[in-house]
């Protein structure tokens, strides 16, 4: 989950007189929500290995298949899939996140107060979900390829490039490029979803950009990797003038 930056550097002074190394440009790419699906293929590969090593060989329709004797692997995988699918398609930010946590706490306390935990655990113990090693392996390979393609291929078609005093939007399929002056530009991050941005995204966030002038536009760049580090560089670049492109 890396982004490209320019190779030529420019030193910008800080308030205490030290120098900050600023790239000539930085590219910020939007990723699809599949960037958050990496735990599924990681866990899937792990479960495939566990099934091959500790599983039992079963003959079904003349074919040899490997199944792990414990039903916990299947339950964990299905639960993880449901959580990731729900949380990457339903946004819960700010107060919604707090409300979700509060509802979960209330449900836990209610089940404890009514003494229903024993009944619930008994039902889970009788729940059996078995998947063979081939399922884990093939599913993980497909998800990993989709994840890698989303990050390293499809995100290359449309991206934003911040330069000193300029924002260039590259669209390699439809409109080509558009250039905006950064004078009066507002840039800030949205990073208030704990599960998406920190647990699954490992520091992702959404970047909100509002330009000014005759061709004012508002851009929301979603699922930006390592957004904190990039935002610092973006703020330094938009505060510079285009003339500093030639100063090295």
Give tens-digit pLDDT for 108-129: 677 667 767 667 666 666 667 8
HEC-encoded secondary structure of 119-137: HHHHHHHCCCCCCEHHHHH
* Domain interval for residue 179: 9-35+157-240
Evaluate if residue 99 carries a pLDDT over 70.
no
pTM reported for the whole predicted model = 0.78
Residue 102 belongs to a domain: no
Residue 17 belongs to a domain: yes
* Residue 66 C-beta-side C-alpha neighbours within 13 Å: 14
Distance from C-alpha of 12 to C-alpha of 80, rounded to nearest angstrom: 46
pLDDT digits (tens, 9 = 90+) for 151-167: 999 999 999 999 999 99
Q: Where residue 166 sits, what CATH number does that domain have?
A: 2.30.29.30
Report angle CA 50, 56, 59 to the nearest 5 degrees. Answer: 130
Residue 115 belongs to a domain: no
Report angle CA 221, 89, 218 to the nearest 5 degrees. Answer: 25
Distance from C-alpha of 242 to C-alpha of 159, rounded to nearest angstrom: 20
Residue 76 belongs to a domain: no
Confidence class for position 3, pLDDT limits 50, 70, 90: very low
Residue 99 belongs to a domain: no
Distance from C-alpha of 152 to C-alpha of 43, rounded to nearest angstrom: 22
Helix (H) or strand (E) holding 103: helix 95-114
Residue 218 belongs to a domain: yes
Q: Name which of 2-11, 18-27, 154-163, 186-195 the model is least confident about.
A: 2-11
The rounded mean pLDDT for the chain is 83
Confidence class for position 98, pLDDT limits 50, 70, 90: low
Residue 206 belongs to a domain: yes
The domain total for the chain is: 1
Residue 162 belongs to a domain: yes
Evaluate if residue 225 carries a pLDDT over 60.
yes
């Amino acid at each position: 989950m890396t982004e490209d930056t320019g190779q030529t550097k420019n030193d910008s002074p800080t308030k205490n007189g030290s120098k900050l190394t600023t790239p000539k440009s930085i590219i910020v790419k939007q990723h699809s929500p599949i960037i958050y699906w990496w735990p599924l293929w990681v866990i899937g590969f792990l479960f495939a290995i566990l099934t091959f090593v500790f599983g039992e060989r079963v003959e079904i329709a003349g074919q040899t298949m490997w199944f792990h004797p414990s039903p916990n692997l299947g339950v964990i995988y299905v639960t993880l899939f449901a959580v990731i699918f729900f949380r990457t398609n339903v946004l819960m930010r700010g107060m919604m996140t707090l409300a979700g946590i509060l509802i979960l706490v209330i449900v836990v306390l209610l089940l404890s107060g009514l003494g229903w935990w024993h009944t619930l655990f008994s039902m889970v113990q009788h729940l059996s979900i078995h998947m063979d090693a081939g399922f884990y392996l093939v599913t993980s390979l497909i998800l990993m390829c989709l994840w890698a393609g989303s990050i390293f291929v499809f995100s290359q078609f449309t991206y934003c490039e911040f330069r000193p005093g300029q924002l260039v939007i590259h669209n390699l399929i439809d409109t080509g490029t558009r250039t905006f002056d950064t004078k009066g530009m507002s840039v800030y991050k949205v990073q208030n979803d704990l599960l998406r941005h920190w647990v699954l995204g490992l520091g992702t966030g959404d970047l909100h950009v509002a330009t000014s002038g005759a061709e004012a536009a508002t851009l929301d760049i979603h699922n930006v990797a390592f957004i904190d580090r990039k935002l610092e560089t973006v703020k330094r670049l938009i505060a510079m003038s285009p003339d500093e492109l030639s100063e090295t």
